[in-house]
Amino acid sequence: MISKTLEVNKKKKIISNSKKFSIISYGCQMNVSDSEVVASILESIGYSYSDDINNSELVLINTCSIREKAEQTVRKKLESINSIKKINKNLKVGVLGCMAERLKEKFLEEEKIVDLVVGPDAYRDIPNLLKEIEFGNDAVNVLLSKEETYADINPSRFNTNGINAFVSITRGCDNMCTFCIVPFTRGRERSRDPKSILNEIDELVNNGYKEVTLLGQNVDSYLWYGGGLKKDYDKASEIQRKTSINFSKLLDLVAKNFTKTRIRFTTSNPQDIDDAVLETMAKHNNICNHIHLPVQSGSDKILKKMNRKHSSDEYLSLVKKIKKLLPDCGISHDMICGFPDETENDHLNTISLMNKVKYDFGFMFKYSERPGTLAARKFDDNVPEEVKQRRLSEIIDIQLKHSFENLSNYINKYSNVLIEKESKKSKEYWCGRNPQNIMVVFPKDDFKIGDYAKVRILSNTSTTLIGKGFKIKER
């Protein structure tokens, strides 16, 4: 597989890249990963990447539809690009991803603001769709697939620091949370062949990458039994079942095969993460001690309306188990406030859960109704906007307090940091993350990007550790 991939890459380089393309990604890490797949497909037909929109023949927007704000951001960006298009008549504009699937008619027929609309499972069709544009035809493909994982496409790391990379292991989601559009835009869960995952990581390591993040809408649901949807596993043969690989086995394989590489994963669903995953993390020093564990609410009533498969008590039991097996593990969360019928008592239950867990950091949102979701069909968006905003402000304030307290515990201790880039606030400082996924900044001294540093923590904010770095031997 590796040799085949390298052969394909060599062929790519032979092609004269005369046309320029740009990709702008919004939303989740899956979108970033998908953009790298799209870039590889475009490079194979003679395009080369440019970070200058004004110098491109093709501009693609990889969209997010999970929040209303995300959609507004995408629309504003399209408006600015179309102002460029008025000057550059040859510029073609395309919309990719979740928003493309949901708003295809609006984009192509009503608003006529784009030339190309491609859903998450249709990226292979982009070369054909570009030809359709040349002939003056509509170029749209938003069909969902039961098999597509892009396992045979080597992503083009066109916008990278060369240190860390995403590796997609699953696509789609079966959970059907009522607030979420993902099952309708990315389809049912299917997992990628573990051999292709190992091959991709091997190539990354050979190219100098030192950290990979295993990526999926729900990585813990990873299940390879020869291909096919996860929901069809009950139809698998006895031999398929005996040779199947779940997430804990995959995580173990990756950690054992790449002992000098940092391994992360995201995102986990509380209902799917099991003891075997935690035991695998405890067994391998190169698996980072961080679990992103979205909870969404501390109210059992709201969790049930969201179609989450865990109660608040079950969630807290899982957190307790994580802290027992992985005492130094960082835990982060997603939280939604203002879901339909959320009362003040429900909100207080969320605050209570946050106070019990004391997360290192989190991503907090006020509920925005997404057309096409189960919640939009079944529930009235009946929590006033001002109440949503007040509750959001309260949970943010609590999280900042917990984050500051947690990070303060690092003072006068050492953190192993992989240097990723220059600090945004000072050119004299490097920044990188520790195993708990907390950002650490420290003076450059004689370090360089890609080095591991042992950083003595001297101070902190609610989001960042600040310290002094010392050289450490590479693992």
**Can you give the chain as a three-state secondary structure string?**
CHHHHHHHHHHHHHCCCCEEEEEEECCCHHHHHHHHHHHHHHHCCCEEECCCHHHCCEEEEEECCCCHHHHHHHHHHHHHHHHHHHHCCCCEEEEEEHHHHHCHHHHHHHCCCCCEEECCCCHHHHHHHHHHHHCCCCEEECCCCCCCCCCCCCCCCCCCCCCEEEEECEECCCCCCCCCCHHHHHCCCEECCHHHHHHHHHHHHHCCCCEEEEECCCHHHCEECCCCEHHHHHHCCHHHHHCCEEHHHHHHHHHHHCCCCEEEEECCCCCCCCHHHHHHHHHCCCECCEEECCCECCCHHHHHHCCCCCCHHHHHHHHHHHHHHCCCCEEEEEEEECCCCCCHHHHHHHHHHHHHHCCCEEEEEECCCCCCCHHHHHCCCCCCHHHHHHHHHHHHHHHHHHHHHHHHCCCCCEEEEEEEEECCCCCCEEEEECCCCCEEEEECCCCCCCCEEEEEEEEECCCEEEEEEEECCCC
What's 434's domain CATH number? Answer: 2.40.50.140
Q: Is 188 found in the same domain as 118? A: no
Residue 359: CA atoms inside 13 Å, Cβ hemisphere, count? 28
- The two three-digit tokens of residue 371, written as one number: 């057309």
Please give the average per-residue pLDDT across 135-163, as a whole number. 90
Same domain? For 180 and 284 the reply is: yes
**Token pair 């997010």: residue:** 64
Q: At what angle do helices 194-206 and 247-257 cross, to 10 degrees?
A: 30
- Given 107, 141, 175, the domain boundary residue is 141
310 shares a domain with 283: yes
What tokens were used for 149?
A: 């994982």
- Residues 379-433 have pLDDT tens digits of 999 999 999 999 999 999 999 999 999 999 999 999 999 999 999 999 999 999 9
Distance CA 421, CA 5 (A): 29
380/377 Cα distance (integer angstroms): 8
The answer to whether position 148 is within a domain reads no
On whether the CB atoms of residues 272 and 220 are closer than 8 A, the answer is yes
Range of the domain at 464: 414-471
Q: Can you give the pLDDT at residue 87?
A: 85
**CA–CA separation, 211 and 25 (whole Å):** 21
Domain CATH code at residue 400: 3.80.30.20
Same domain, yes or no: 295 and 376: yes
Identify whether residues 378 and 434 lie together within a single domain.
no
- Find the distance separating the first CA and the last CA of the chain, reported in whole Å: 27
Residues 96 and 25 reside in one and the same domain: yes
For the chain, the domain total comes to: 3
User: Is there a contact between 449 and 457 (Cβ–Cβ < 8 Å)?
Assistant: no
Give the residue, 84 or 391, on which the prediction is more confident. Answer: 391
Indicate the burial class of 19 (C-beta count within 10 angstroms; 0-12, 13-18, 19 or more).
middle
pLDDT (0 to 100) of residue 472: 74
pLDDT tens-place string over residues 324-339: 999 999 999 999 999 9
In a domain, 156, yes or no: no
Same domain for 399 and 425, yes or no, is: no
Q: Each residue of 18-70: pLDDT tens digit?
A: 799 999 988 788 889 999 999 999 999 999 999 898 889 999 999 877 677 77
153 found inside a domain: no
Domain boundary among 353, 384, 406: 406
Q: Is residue 288 part of a domain?
A: yes
- What pLDDT is attached to residue 111? 62
Give a yes or no: residue 150 inside a domain. Answer: no
Q: pLDDT band at residue 109, thresholds of 50, 70 and 90?
A: low
CB 54 within 8 A of CB 17: no
Asked whether residue 157 is domain-assigned, the answer is no
Query: pLDDT at residue 6 above 80?
Result: no
Q: Is 90 exceeded by the pLDDT of residue 295?
A: yes
Query: Closest by alpha carbon to 394, among 339, 359, 332, 347?
Result: 347
Residue 321 · residue 295 · CB < 8 Å: no
d(CA 265, CA 253): 14
Query: Which pLDDT does position 86 carry in this prediction?
Result: 82
* 402 within some domain: yes
Model confidence at 475, in pLDDT bands (50, 70, 90)?
A: low
Looking up residue 85, the CATH number of its domain turns out to be: 3.40.50.12160
Task: Tell me: do 171 and 56 sit in the same domain.
Answer: no
Q: What's the pLDDT score for residue 3?
A: 35
Q: Are residues 402 and 427 in the same domain?
A: no
**Poorest-confidence range of 88-97, 173-182, 236-245, 286-295?**
88-97
**8 pLDDT above the threshold of 70:** no
Look at residue 9 in the predicted model and tell me its pLDDT: 42
Residue linked to tokens 């649901």: 221
Q: What is the pLDDT of residues 66-76, one digit of tens each?
A: 677 777 888 78
**Tokens encoding 453:** 């540093």
Asked if residue 389 is part of any domain, the answer here is yes
Q: Are 217 and 320 within one domain?
A: yes
Same domain flag for 332 and 454: no
pLDDT at 473: 66
Residue 189 sits in the same domain as residue 273: yes
Name 273's Cβ contacts closer than 8 Å, sequence gap at least 6: 220, 291, 293, 318
Q: What is the mean pLDDT of the chain?
A: 91
